Amino acid sequence: MSETIQFLPPRQAVLSRRTAIIADLADLLPPDCLVHEPRELVPFETDAFVAYRRVPLAVVLPRTTAEVAAVMKYCHRYGVPVVPRGAGTSLSGGAIPQEDAVVLGLSKMSRILEVDYANRTATVQAGVTNLSISETVGADGFFYAPDPSSQLACTIGGNIGMNSGGAHCLKYGVTTNNLLGVKMVLVDGTVIELGGKHLDAAGYDLLGLVCGSEGQLGIVTEATVRLIAKPEGARPVLFGFDTSEEAGSCVADVIGSGIIPVAIEFMDKPAIEICEAFAHAGYPLDVGALLIVEVEGSEAEMDAMLKEIVEIAGRHGVKTVRESQSAMEAALIWKGRKSAFGATGRIADYICMDGTVPLGKLSYVLKKTSEITDSFGLRVANVFHAGDGNMHPLILFNANDPEDAAKAEAAGNEILKLCVDAGGCLTGEHGVGIEKRDLMRHQYSEADLAQQMAVRAAFDEGWILNPSKVFPLEGRPTT
């Protein structure tokens, strides 16, 4: 189908709304870009959050920006809700549809359009996976810095929607720090471009507004991202402590000293045991908490940083210090950490929280988190990005037991409130989605929420883009 797609009116009124919408979408897209048979819709009824399931009206899988624009123009004219979807790895219910919604999946938009080493940028379609960018430019000595644990599957469009981070965000920043420009389709089908290869753009920072907007301001179809030269060397080191409180205090003191490792990752004892059983990474099993601290640079630079970090860890009772001795050992260390969510899923159902807290409150929040889960009779495994205080408590429960599931959800809400009360926020990188929308009032005043909703409505007055997400359902403006 050509880039100049003709807009088509709906079928005669005798057809049902669903039948008419599907028929019209079939005229806008090739047959392999439209999914509407009931059994074929099942894979799109949920995302990695899995707590809720809704079968969508239909799924469209456009291949070009023009096809996305045609779909959006049609849905806008007839008030059809649209739920953008990348790889479905959202852990907050960000891609869960409604029964009357069309899911707009970007999986067919998976081309790397340009690599520009002179400007150190790559321009990619939104369905490109996170890891594939680094794989494409790795042989030339470059990489794309944000690295969520799901980077093998998650897409750049989804990363932009949730402003995703990853283990190495401590030094290199999250998606917003590595995003230079986007091509985006607005709710009425208008195509705009924000930013570009240049480092600064005139006017309002609309690019910053779009990154993290959870697909409610428009559909990103292309992105220009920053490429970074690979460091001379990198070395992950394992630090074992008797308690989580000691490990948390060590993290705060390392950052407070002015040292910025490339990553500081945390695991408590349950997480260590779960990940070691899966990855056989050589994690110490006789400790109560583990830090993975990675430094990079020349050998002299890494030695100097590690010397100071070891001294700080010693003041917090470090029990084990083990440096990786080879590239294979380093890869194993990271395999264990990045497999944490999948490894946990082998032994139990879980809800993954995503609160962020000031580093000085890590020890306090870890202790209170355990008290909260204990009070509900549940287990918790903590694994998270300690360097920026982005916590990921994994609350273990039985999804087939409604009472247990309710307890897990209630415990998760209490943990997120704890994060806010400690001076942090509801989300670090997973977004608000469905999971945290009713907690937004715990963090924001009514005036704060009204202003945010006004900005959202300026882009989508009818609230058809990713509806029922982010903002509490009560108190929304009527449309």
pLDDT tens per residue across span 173-187 = 999 999 999 999 999
Are residues 332 and 246 part of one domain? yes
Q: Domain range holding 479?
A: 444-479
| Position 13 pLDDT exceeds 50 | no
3-state secondary structure the chain: CCCCCCCCCCCCCCCCHHHHHHHHHHHHCCHHHEECCHHHHHHHCCCCCCCCCCCCCEEECCCCHHHHHHHHHHHHHCCCCEEEECCCCCCCCCCCCCCCCEEEECCCCCCEEEEECCCCEEEEECCCEHHHHHHHHHHHCEECCCCCCCCCCCEHHHHHHHCCCCCCHHHHCCHHHHEEEEEEECCCCCEEEEECCCCCCCCCCHHHHHCCCCCCCCEEEEEEEECEECCCCEEEEEEEECCHHHHHHHHHHHHHCCCCCCEEEEEEHHHHHHHHHHHCCCCCCCCCEEEEEEEECCHHHHHHHHHHHHHHHHCCCCCEEEECCCHHHHHHHHHHHHCHHHHHHCCCEEEECCCECCHHHHHHHHHHHHHHHHHCCCEEEEEEEHHHCECCEEEEECCCCHHHHHHHHHHHHHHHHHHHHCCCECCCCCCCCCCCHHHHHHHCCHHHHHHHHHHHHHHCCCCCECCCCCCCCCCCCCC
Residue 17 has what pLDDT? 87
Are residues 331 and 362 part of one domain? no
Q: Which of 312, 341, 370 is the last residue of a domain?
A: 341
- Per residue in 321-379, pLDDT (tens digit) is 999 888 899 999 999 998 998 899 999 999 999 999 998 898 899 999 999 999 999 99
Tally of domains within the chain = 5
Q: How confident is the model at residue 140 (pLDDT cuts 50, 70, 90)?
A: very high
Q: Angle between the 244-256 and 299-314 helix axes, to the nearest 10 degrees?
A: 130
Residue 426 included in any domain: no
Cα distance between residue 160 and residue 180, in whole Å: 11
Residue 141 included in any domain: yes
Residue 128 included in any domain: yes
- Per residue in 240-299, pLDDT (tens digit) is 999 999 999 999 999 999 999 999 999 999 999 999 999 999 999 999 999 999 999 999
Q: What CATH code is carried by the domain that includes residue 99?
A: 3.30.43.10
| Position 51 pLDDT exceeds 90 | no
Residue 429 included in any domain: no
Are residues 159 and 51 part of one domain? no
| Position 47 pLDDT exceeds 60 | yes
Per the prediction, the chain carries an average pLDDT of 93
Of 10-14, 112-116, 166-170, least confident by mean pLDDT is: 10-14
370-396 mean pLDDT: 94
Residue 381 has what pLDDT? 95
Q: How confident is the model at residue 15 (pLDDT cuts 50, 70, 90)?
A: low
| Position 478 pLDDT exceeds 60 | no
Residue 325 has what pLDDT? 87
Are residues 126 and 81 part of one domain? no
Residue 171 included in any domain: yes
Are residues 223 and 118 part of one domain? yes
Q: How confident is the model at residue 50 (pLDDT cuts 50, 70, 90)?
A: confident
Q: Which of 72, 105, 138 is the last residue of a domain?
A: 105
Are residues 189 and 123 part of one domain? yes
Are residues 132 and 94 part of one domain? no
Are residues 73 and 44 part of one domain? yes
| Position 1 pLDDT exceeds 90 | no
Q: How confident is the model at residue 2 (pLDDT cuts 50, 70, 90)?
A: very low
Q: How confident is the model at residue 14 (pLDDT cuts 50, 70, 90)?
A: very low
Are residues 397 and 306 part of one domain? no
Are residues 225 and 122 part of one domain? yes
Are residues 243 and 308 part of one domain? yes
Residue 438 included in any domain: no
**Alpha carbon separation from 448 to 83, 407, 453 (Å, rounded):** 25, 30, 9
Residue 267 included in any domain: yes
Q: What CATH code is carried by the domain that includes residue 260?
A: 3.30.70.2190
| Position 465 pLDDT exceeds 90 | yes
Q: What CATH code is carried by the domain that includes residue 399?
A: 3.30.70.2740
Token couple for 333: 């260390």
Q: Which of 75, 105, 135 is the last residue of a domain?
A: 105
Residue 385 included in any domain: yes
Which residue in this structure is represented by tokens 């009357």? 100
- Model-level pTM? 0.92
Residue 3 has what pLDDT? 45
Are residues 152 and 54 part of one domain? no
